[in-house]
Each structure stands twice: as structure tokens, then as C-alpha cells.
Amino acid sequence: MKMALLPTGFDVDLLYISTPELDFSIKGKPYHPNVKALNINTGVTANILIRCKEYIAEIYSPVEQKLVPYTGLCKWYPLFFEQQNYEVVIEKKGESDILFWHENVNIRNKVKYVGHSKRVLSGVINFGNDIGFTQIVVKVNGRDYITVTLEVFPSKIDYQKDYYALLKDINDELYNLVFDFYKKTYSHAGLKETKGNSMTEFFAIINQVFNKLDSAIGMVLRIPHHALVKEKNIMPQQKIRCINGDTIKWLNKHAHYANKVNGLYIPKKALAIKSVVTYDTFENRFIKYIICTVINKLNEIKKVYLTGTMMDEEQGKDIAVILRIDEMINKLKKRIESSFLKDVGDIHTINSLSLVFQMAIGYKDVYKYYIMLLKGLMMKEDIFKISIKDLAVLYENWCFIKLNSLLRKRYNLVRQDVIKFANNGLVISLKKGVRSTVEYQNPRNGEKYALVYNKFYKSGDTPTVSQRPDNVLSLEKKGSNIIYHYIFDAKYRINPALEGSDYHKKYLIPGPEEEDINVMHRYRDAIVYENKNNRHFERMVFGAFVLFPYNDEKRYINHHFYKSIDKVNVGGLPFLPGSTRLVEQLLQDIIEGTPQSAFEGTVIQSGIYEYLDYVNFDSREVLIGGLSSVEQLEVNLKHKFYHIPYENIKASGIQFKYVAIFQSKKKFKEEAGIRYYGKVKNWKIVKRKEIKEIPKNSEELYVRFEIEEWQELKNKISCKEFGVTKCMYTNMFLLENATYLPELCIKSKDEYRLYLELKRICSTNAEFHVDVPDKNIKDSTSIRGFEIDGLRIFIDNGRITVYKGDKLVDVISSEEFEKKPLTIIRRIRSY
């Protein structure tokens, strides 16, 4: 529907009804300012229905900008919106008793008699966040006289597109969680049907899932699981094409089937074996069993229904119910009678389910729907027919569900308590005030993540007041003992940035409310914990973000509250079914980023003391020296010392705090690398002949280091094709965190930072190399850059250059990388 420019200014009569008993009108704005600003709910129609025996009615036309005659149930312009005030006026014409009624008591009590004459009822109503159909009833002398059915539209999301997509997303993800729950809980299934789900419950469920179940069975019949079996037959020898060992064994046991001709035994008959395809597999027997079980249950329901025990006696039998049951039974019977299933055998026991029921097309879905029917589902929030009218609640639930859906794309679901067992079925615990947790694990590096809904930080846990953000993502990261918390708070609020408003002057485009951004700052400041090591209170939250309903992500990236995320990790993100890219990207950045990225993306946080003292890359506190023989290692370890020619290290100043031992590949084979290190107790310069543990008659000067205790590194540093020439120096941080030898040549924080970020996007070290100029590493060796999947990345003179083969594809300044490391890594990864 096209319409003229909407009026701006005071309210108008939107609906007027005149009857012999009364005049009824609803006044208000015939539009919502958000609709145009957010470009939503355009070109759609609303349903308006009036029921009254005798009446004349008019309805407001935004095109003609006046009341026009109402002609019965019609598709009209949207006139009623959430969170908007409407004045109801009812004027009596006679002496009848008039009463205004609405199912919502808060609306019902707003319209009352005004004045002493008691001839006019008036009041201002607001539908709040309730959308969809609503009924207003005017009662005369206690009986319904006028019933007006209105359709209330949302003012922040698109009714036809976003609202129904929210419901679908919630349904789909809850189905996935239910199936995953059953898959983990019932890895061993028995044939005995579970008691407890009532006939009505079963029928209600199968009514919702039957078409999907039937479609899944059809997929099984089109792409059935099959197996090869050996078919054995006794056949004349001239018909046998292939002879194998089984044939020979059979002839040895049945020699009477062979005749001796010219000294040779010629068989008259023999055993023939050939491989044939069969559909009579365990999986197909189970499919047949499922179909037969459902048919039997439907027959039982039909019988019970016809006896009257499943219905209200006053309603009588509904022929449509019988027809629906018969239709389902006939469809299922045809699935067996007209397919290979009629020749499939019966199943008698189930010890475990094969991977076919977890992965194969069709089989997985049939099993999912069967389990739903078998166990029965008692949903507090109905999984099959969600009809939440309060959009704020719906949006909050959807945000949690959708965040989980995005996480499930990349990470393995470990545990969840959204779907739980109750006494008689499954319960969804997703509701306001009830905590729900879903845990994940990164299959690539083993890191664990948890998304918690309604996480409660009570006042005893924080120094000030309690806090309850909507969604908290908690992360572990390798290389850090800190738990990183990020808040994603769902707010069904948006400022449309109307022309001339303060918000428009500041930010130009729609976005989250300022007060909601302030709440994110509050969460980050208020949610703290006391560090037991230093008794300091430290922040736990590394980022806090408002999720709000807006569908133009491309436009929003220019908003002040999007740019603020890069600066202080506080801001807002649009989040609707068709607009999830920015949130998905932020989740990936948070999860895939290093501990350093987490710290540098925010202000002072928990663990900052660990971070500020992180690494001094100029330090030469560790001496790494080689060995002249395998025996030297044994003696050095046994007698807690290490010796090295003075000439090799005299230029260093010998200020080492630790000594680490390099074992070469030539001498130590598979044991090669760096395994042992120890703290230096003292050292002295001696002649080689004075080292009695390993006798050698030499006047050469050596440095002898006395070691407090030799220790093994948690992870051995492998050398691969590299070796240490004479010796090299490094710091303790690199020694404890390196995985292979060239990493010890990193000489600056910038190099290490780039190394960490690149390493995280690789699944194995085989894809990632530190580039050094020579395989024989010495103290002066510096890295040239890194190689990753065919890319060569160099660091030189404050810039990072990226080559693909011999072609230069990117140049990045160190300052740019320091400010936006994850953005730069994404850029590099794109090549």
C-alpha cells in the first residue's frame, strides 16, 4: 500500500463506532515516528475487525488524512503500534451499564468513568511491548456488545520479516538443542516405549512434526543405507564364474561332488559366492520399527478418542481429528508397502545406534522426531508453537539463542542446561531470572568457552551492588590463567535519530540509547573480584556490548558507538535475524584473539599485573649452550653444573640467570631440542683440565656454571632442521613459551605479538614457520619474518610487508598493527 506523507502533530480519531447504545472512539497518532526512520513495516497491511449487531464505523485513512467508512473485516494501514499512547473515549446514549474490558489488567483499568454524570468512560492505554492481535471489548449490562480486534505492530523491528524470523530462529535452535540432548543422553536406546507421555501430548506433538517426519522418511527411501552381503549357492560347475578359497574348502569337505577324469578331479557342482546389495540392515529395520510404532500409537489414539476419554464430553467427536489420524496412518503404511521396507526384517534389540543415525541424510531427522514423540516434551516455553507477544522478552530470548547458534557453527557443544528433564518430559529453562549455561570447546586448541544467560553477580561477590547482565561469554585462553568475561546485553530499544533530535545531532544515524551504553560501563566497573595474591580488586569484564534491534549493518559501522568498541571495548551492535555479521565477527575476534589482544582492547583489567611485567625482550638472562657429547649431558645433569668455553661467551658480560641445554639432532636423534634448564647459583672461570667430572688435559679457559636444580620445560622446544652454533641468548619468557628453536630469535615485542596472532590462525606448526636466515642459529641471529600457507610476512623499519610468492600484496605500518591487530590479521588471512 502506498500512502501520502503522514501528518505530524496532534492525535486524530483512528477508529469511530456509533451504535444505539454508545459512541466509541480511539484517538492517537496514525503512524509511529520509528517506522520511517528505521524503514520498517512499510508496504504491509493490518487486520481490523469489528463485531457488533448494529453499528456504523469509520476508520482513519493516512492517504486521505481523514476518517472513511469501515466496510467490514479489512486489510488496512497499520494504525496501532507498541509503546504508543492511545486515548479511548466511550460515551453512553442511554441508561445502560457500560464497561470497558481487555485481557490485560493494566490496560483494562486505564479506561474509567469521568465526571459526576457517569456518562463518559475515558482513559489512555498503551500496549507496551505486546504485539499481534488484541481484543478490546465494550460490555453493555454485563454482556459483550462491541468486540474490536486490532493488530498491533512493532515499532523497532519489521513485523513480517524480523518478528517471524525471531520465532523461527528460536524454534530451530531449540530443536537442535533437544536433539543434541537426546543424542548425548540416549546413546543406548531400548525398544521398550517410555511411559508417561499422554495421548493428547503425543497427538499435539505429532500434529506439529508429522510433515517433517514424513519428509525425512521419504529422504531415507530415496537414499537408503545399504550393505554388501555374501550370497552362497551350490551350482553346476559350468555356471560358476569365480572360484575363491571358500569354494576350495567346500570341495575338500564334499569330495563326492567331484569325478576323476584323466587323473584330474572335475567337480560336478561347487559352492559359488557373490556379493549382493541388501537393504535389510539394522538401520532400515529400525526405520521400519519407528514407522510401525507410530502407526500403532496413532491407532491407539484413534481408539481412545472414539471412546470419548480424550475429549470434553460437551464438545463431541470432531470428524477432522479422525480424518487427520487416518491420513497420517495411511501415509505411513504406504511408506512401508510401496518401498523396500516391506522386505526388511523385524528388529528385536538395540544395543547402540550407529553413526548413520547421527550423520546420514534422512536417518538423523527420522530419529530426532521419533525421540521427541517417544519421550514426550512438556515445554514451559512451547517449543512447537511459540507465541510470545512481549517483544522485549522475545528479543532477549532470541539474542541468547542466536549467540549460541553462532558459536555452534565453529565450536563443539560440550554441555548445556537450557534443555532439562522434568518429571514428565523436557523443560526449557530459558526465562527471565533463571540462569542457563551452554559450554563449548574449540576443537583446534582445546580452549573452553561458556555463554551464560542471566548470570547473577550478587552483592557478596562484588564490593557494591548486585549485577545481572543478560548474556556473559566467559573464555579461557592458552598462555594465561585469567578468565576473560564479555557481556552481550540484549536491549529491545533503539533511538531512531529523528531529524532535529539531540541524538541525531550527535550521532546522525539510529543506534543504541546512551543510557544503555552507560549500563555497559557500569557492568564493567561494578563486576570485579578480589585478587587473592595481591589483595587488589580487579575488573573481570573485558568488554560490554549492547545488542539492539537494527537491520542496517552497513550504515551502522559509521556510528560513534560502533567505533567505541575498537577504542574501549564498550559499545553497541545491531542484532536481528538478517543482521548478525558484526556480532559474529566480534565473537570470532574475541575468541580467536590472544590474551594480549584482550588486554590491549580494553582498559585496566584483571591480570594487568601479570601483563605489565610481561616480557623484557632486551633481556639476555638465559644462556643456551650446546654439548660436545651425549655423555656430557648425563654428567652435567648429575653434578648440577654446565661448562662452556670462555671464548664463546666473554662478550656477553656473563650476566646470565639461567642456563638451558641444547641437544643437537646429530647426537640425540629423537631426543633433540631443549628440555633442561636451571637457575645459576654461581659461576667461575677455570681451566678445562680443572673440570674433573669430565677429564681433559687442556689449558683452555672455560666458564663453569653451578646450577641450583635442573628442571624440565613443560613443553620441549624442538629444533627440527635447526641447530645452535656455539651458543645463543634469550629471555625466560620465550624459553617457557617457545615451541621450536627459531622462535627464540624473536627480539622485540612487535615481532612476538605478530608471531602470536599469526600462530593462532594456524591449525598446526607445519603451516607456520619463523623465517631465519640460516639453519645454524647463533646469538646474532634475528628473524626476517614469518611464513604461513604460502605467504611471507616480513618486519623491517617499522612496517610489515606481506608477499604472496614474489608479489607484494600488502604493506602495514607497525602503528596500524598496534591499534587494530585483529583487523590486520583478518586482512592477512584473506590473502
CATH code of the domain in which 693 resides: 3.10.590
Which DSSP state fits 228? E
Lowest mean per-residue pLDDT among 136-145, 611-620, 654-663? 611-620
Q: Is pLDDT at 196 greater than 60 in this prediction?
A: no
Continuous segment of H or E residues that includes residue 582: helix 581-592
Q: Indicate whether 600 and 660 sit together in one domain.
A: no
Q: Indicate whether 640 and 559 sit together in one domain.
A: no
pLDDT band, very low/low/confident/very high, at 293 (cuts 50, 70, 90): confident
Whether residue 537 lies inside any domain: the answer is: yes
Q: Indicate whether 254 and 301 sit together in one domain.
A: no
pLDDT at residue 308, rounded to an integer: 62
Q: Indicate whether 397 and 418 sit together in one domain.
A: yes
Q: Which residues form the domain of 587? A: 391-612
Q: Rounded distance, CA 476 to CA 485, Å?
A: 9
Domain boundary among 720, 744, 768: 744
Q: Which residue has the cell 610476512?
A: 793
Lowest mean per-residue pLDDT among 97-101, 470-474, 706-710? 470-474
Domain boundary among 212, 246, 278: 278
Q: Indicate whether 675 and 599 sit together in one domain.
A: no
H helix intervals, 239-350: 245-253, 282-307, 319-337
Q: Indicate whether 413 and 543 sit together in one domain.
A: yes
Q: How far is CA 319 from CA 167, 302, 326, 631, in A?
A: 31, 11, 11, 94
Q: Rounded distance, CA 476 to CA 371, Å?
A: 35
Q: Is pLDDT at 575 greater than 90 in this prediction?
A: yes
Cell, residue 561: 558507538
Q: Nearest CA to 120 among 146, 86, 88?
A: 88
Lowest mean per-residue pLDDT among 233-247, 602-616, 766-780? 602-616
Q: Indicate whether 771 and 731 sit together in one domain.
A: no
Whether residue 192 lies inside any domain: the answer is: no
Q: Is pLDDT at 337 greater than 60 in this prediction?
A: yes
Domain boundary among 704, 728, 744: 744
Q: Is pLDDT at 378 greater than 70 in this prediction?
A: no
Q: Which residue has the cell 483494562?
A: 108
Whether residue 553 lies inside any domain: the answer is: yes
Whether residue 774 lies inside any domain: the answer is: yes
Q: Among residues of the chain, what percentage have pLDDT more than 70?
A: 78
Q: Tell me the range of 13-27, 40-54, 386-400, 712-726 where mean pLDDT is highest.
A: 13-27
Q: Is pLDDT at 582 greater than 90 in this prediction?
A: yes
Q: Indicate whether 239 and 294 sit together in one domain.
A: no
Helix (H, G, I), strand (E, B) or coil at 790: coil
**pLDDT, the chain, mean:** 80
Q: Indicate whether 554 and 582 sit together in one domain.
A: yes
Total structural domains in the chain? Answer: 6
Q: Indicate whether 244 and 289 sit together in one domain.
A: no
Whether residue 7 lies inside any domain: the answer is: no
Q: Is 654:703 a contact under the CB 8 Å cutoff? A: yes
Q: Is pLDDT at 232 greater than 60 in this prediction?
A: yes
H helix intervals, 308-390: 319-337, 356-359, 363-375
Q: Among residues of the chain, what percentage have pLDDT more than 90?
A: 28
Whether residue 419 lies inside any domain: the answer is: yes
Q: What are phi and psi of 264, to 5 degrees?
A: -115, 145
Q: Is pLDDT at 765 greater than 50 in this prediction?
A: no
pLDDT at residue 719, rounded to an integer: 86
Q: Indicate whether 101 and 23 sit together in one domain.
A: yes
Cell, residue 172: 530451530
- From the CA atom positions of the chain, what is the Rg in Å? 38
Whether residue 181 lies inside any domain: the answer is: no
Q: Indicate whether 673 and 822 sit together in one domain.
A: no
Whether residue 43 lies inside any domain: the answer is: yes
The more confident residue out of 27 and 8 is 27
The end-to-end CA distance of the chain, in Å, is 47
Q: Nearest CA to 90 among 59, 107, 113?
A: 113
500 torsion bin: left (phi>0), alpha (psi -120 to 50), beta (else): left
